[in-house]
């Protein structure tokens, strides 16, 4: 398997430079700040996320993409990935984002050689969104995957417009298309245009559990009774069980696979 260092790429026309975290470990605070504003607060409670965070920066930094301005001070975007040992068979693909991230942690502990990358997060500074930065991050991750000899970049896509359709099952939403026959969801469309194939859905990609008071704090809502609630930022409903002082939410996602041509 190839093991090449990805060199920094500078673009003077658009004013940015692309690095890996191996070169810019000093950006951790900026990345953590961007992460905090990129997702609903309840998703920050995921245990697997917290377990993987240090590993991303220390053990897997060569697989992480950061884009900064040419002064090197302002974080423009970041692409975080998890190396996994996967045989490329869709039947053995982890059930979702959480399972894929845990697989990467387990593989690292077991000393297994990774064969693919799985997406952890792709985030863009709000001031720089809708400028093609996410597509640039994706392209760079694919290059990293090829340079390391990985056969695939597997993305458990969190479709960004699904929050507008929380009552529509992910099994239905994932296959909506626009007039051009491309995915209806714009984030899925970015991956589709980069060559990814939609291979399935993950109705329970991430599990979030908390007490009723925690959910009220995370969502700034009141939950007077047990039942299902639509909350801001959620892709489907949150189930509140007052008798157990518990709120449960499953964040759905869509598996899209980029093949790199490496073996």
- Beta strands in 54-93, from DSSP E residues, in sequence order: 65-69, 75-84
Reported in sequence order, the residue ranges of 85-129 that DSSP labels E, i.e. its strands, are: 116-124
- Give CA–CA dist 54/210, Å, rounded: 23
Q: For the chain, how big is the Rg over CA atoms in Å? A: 19
Name residue 83's beta-bridge partners: 117
> 3-state SS string over 198-240?
EEEEEEEEEEEEECHHHHHHHHCCCCCCCEEECCCCCCCCEEE
Which among 30, 25, 19, 116 is positioned nearest to 65, based on CA atoms? 19
260 φ/ψ angles, rounded to the nearest 5 degrees: -100, -15
Please report, in tens digits, the pLDDT of each residue of the chain (263 residues total): 444 555 556 555 557 899 999 999 899 999 999 999 999 999 987 778 888 999 999 999 999 999 998 876 799 999 999 999 999 999 999 999 999 999 999 999 999 999 999 999 999 999 888 888 999 999 999 999 999 999 999 999 999 999 999 999 999 999 999 999 999 999 999 999 999 999 999 999 999 999 999 999 999 999 999 999 999 999 999 999 999 999 999 999 999 999 986 54
CB atoms within 10 A of CB 65: 23
What are the residue boundaries of the structural domains of the chain, listed by start?
9-203+253-259, 208-250
Q: What one-character DSSP code corresponds to residue 95?
A: S
Looking at residue 1, its pLDDT comes to: 41
Domain 9-203+253-259: CATH class, spelled out: alpha beta
Per residue in 3-56, pLDDT tens?
Answer: 455 555 655 555 789 999 999 989 999 999 999 999 999 998 777 888 899 999
């Amino acid at each position: 398997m190839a093991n090449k260092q990805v060199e920094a790429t500078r673009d003077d026309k658009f004013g940015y430079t692309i690095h890996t975290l191996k070169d810019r470990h000093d950006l951790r605070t900026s990345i953590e700040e961007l992460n905090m504003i990129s997702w609903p607060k309840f998703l920050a409670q995921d245990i697997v996320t917290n377990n993987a965070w240090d590993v991303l920066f220390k053990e897997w930094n060569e697989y992480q993409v950061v884009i900064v301005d040419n002064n090197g001070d302002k974080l423009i975007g970041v692409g975080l990935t998890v190396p996994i040992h996967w045989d490329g068979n869709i039947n053995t693909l982890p059930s979702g984002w959480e399972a894929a991230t845990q697989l990467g942690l387990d593989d690292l502990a077991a000393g297994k050689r990774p064969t693919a990358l799985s997406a952890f997060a792709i985030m863009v500074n709000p001031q720089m969104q809708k400028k093609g930065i996410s597509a640039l991050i994706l392209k760079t991750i694919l290059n990293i995957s090829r340079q390391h000899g990985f056969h695939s970049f597997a993305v458990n896509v969190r479709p960004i417009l699904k929050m507008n359709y929380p009552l529509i099952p992910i099994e239905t939403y994932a296959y909506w298309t626009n007039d051009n026959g491309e995915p209806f969801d714009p984030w899925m469309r970015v991956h589709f245009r980069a060559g990814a194939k939609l291979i399935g859905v993950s109705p329970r990609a991430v599990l979030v559990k908390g007490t009723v008071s925690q959910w009220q704090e995370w969502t700034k809502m009141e939950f007077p009774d047990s039942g299902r609630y639509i909350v801001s930022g959620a892709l489907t409903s949150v189930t509140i069980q007052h008798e157990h002082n518990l709120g449960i939410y499953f964040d759905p996602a869509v598996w899209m696979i980029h093949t790199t041509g490496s073996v």
